[in-house]
Amino acid sequence: MVTERTMTFQLIHSAQSYLTESGHDYALQMCAGAYLSLNNTIPMDTGVSVLEPFSMSNESFDGLTDSSHYVYVQNWNITVQEINGLIALDPCVLRGNCSYLFPSNITGTVLPGDVIYGNQLFSPVLPPPYIEEDFEAEFCGVIVRGDDLVFTHDPAVVFLENWAEYELRHTGTFMPDSALLVCHIYDKEGNFFREFFAANCDNRRLLSITNTINSSPGQDIHKGAMSWGYTTRSRVRVYTDPTSSIEPTSTLAYGSTVRAEIGIKLNVDGVEFYKISGAPIGTGWIKVDDLVIINPNQLIPLVDCEGLNAENTGPEECI
């Protein structure tokens, strides 16, 4: 069950005249400071998804008190969404402590060079000397060096030049008797560039990404299916209103995960946009080409894959 609700907060500012020439002056400065600090900000570690950041609905002078305080009142709103899943019968739920299942205060990031397969994140590896050999964990992973991706183990070896110009996809095929996943690289036009190997060398994975329907009343006439996606460029712009050049925008780094309303697209001068939530400006629009939609049907539940070894052919074997 998805619950969306708007919470209201009230700030009361008061000042006496001895602080300055007029209590009005000082109280209004506090009002301005609160507005500059709170407007369009998103609180962290709330346990809920923030759909609309802090916004001030109204501000008014409330009067002068018996102690000569000039009082101003600001009313603030924030819209959040909570997802309440089915009742789980896992023993940790019954005990009231499931913290050991999840990293502490970490949602994870899709890093440059990562490929999503199942619910696991695979990283490029330096090719083994012989194709029949498996990889060593120390040879796994890449980092950004300028415009290129280089191998973490040996930065002198370039994995992919101008990495932001390409898209990495898995083929769904593993090397025989190996944990190496066969992957392909494509350019912006969708043309095949080359092949490479990847592995889940650090046991990173996606946690609980599901598909749902946006049922929030009163926001849009048409509703679309909600899914998750991650950004594919080093700096991706999010628009409050793509049709306006004066509306505020923000940016997302590579691998940022957001919720996208994929059932609805906005076309502006031939460029298509998804409506998203979870950006620094709250709800906004992002270019379709800047976001990779994660298919919920390809994701598997969080499982213990510590037994994954050379005899396994893929993450499905862990279920």
Do 36 and 248 touch, CB atoms closer than 8 A? Answer: no
Q: What is the mean pLDDT of residues 224-230?
A: 68
pLDDT digits (tens, 9 = 90+) for 255-308: 777 778 766 678 888 888 888 876 666 678 888 888 887 765 444 334 344 444
Residue 261: inside a domain: yes
Question: What is the average pLDDT value for the chain, to the nearest integer?
Answer: 75
Residue 122: inside a domain: yes
Residue 313: inside a domain: no
pLDDT digits (tens, 9 = 90+) for 111-159: 888 888 876 788 898 865 545 556 677 788 888 888 889 988 888 888 9
Question: Of 145, 176, 205, which residue is a domain's last?
Answer: 205
Return the closest-CA partner of residue 153 out of 201, 84, 109: 201
Q: Which ranges of the chain does DSSP label H, i.e. alpha helix?
A: 23-38, 91-95
Domain match, 61 and 148 both: no
Tokens at 218, concatenated: 């009163």
Residue 39: inside a domain: yes
The C-alpha atoms of residue 246 and residue 42 are separated, in whole angstroms, by 22
The pLDDT assigned to 220 comes to: 34
Band of pLDDT at residue 181, cut at 50, 70 and 90: confident
The pLDDT assigned to 61 comes to: 92
Domain match, 197 and 224 both: no
Question: Of 159, 184, 205, which residue is a domain's last?
Answer: 205
Domain match, 118 and 195 both: yes
Q: What is the mean pLDDT of residues 35-51?
A: 84
Q: Which domain holds residue 51?
A: 2-83
Total domain count, the chain: 3
